[in-house]
Amino acid sequence: MRDGVKLARQGIPAVALVTSEFWAQGDFVARSVGMPDVPRVMLPHPVAATGVENIRRVADSIRDAVLAGLARRRPSRTGEGEGPDGA
């Protein structure tokens, strides 16, 4: 989450990948730093150490959500969207 927030603050499109186990924590972090609308995509938990084939399946299943998150309006520090050019 913090990486996604850091990139968003720099105007760089980003989507935080958060497993279901840590989704609530990610929500808390995003709100606590004043950026509740940072794009996030939920992954099943666990993903790490589940094998290459499973990781490929997970990646395939979230591809569209990640691309949509990258294409959406950038969140501002107040949570209101900004345009692609930052305006």
Q: What is the pLDDT of residue 85?
A: 38
| Tens-digit pLDDT profile for residues 5-26 | 999 999 999 999 999 999 999 9
**CA dist., res. 9 & res. 62, Å (int):** 24
Query: 74-75 and 81-82: which strand pairing?
Result: antiparallel
Q: What is the pLDDT of residue 72?
A: 86
* Domain spans in the chain, listed from the N-terminal domain onward: 2-76
Q: What is the pLDDT of residue 84?
A: 42
> Against a cut of 0.85, is the pTM above it?
no
Amino acid of residue 45: H
- DSSP at 72: S
With a cut of 50, list the residues of the chain below it in pLDDT: 78-87
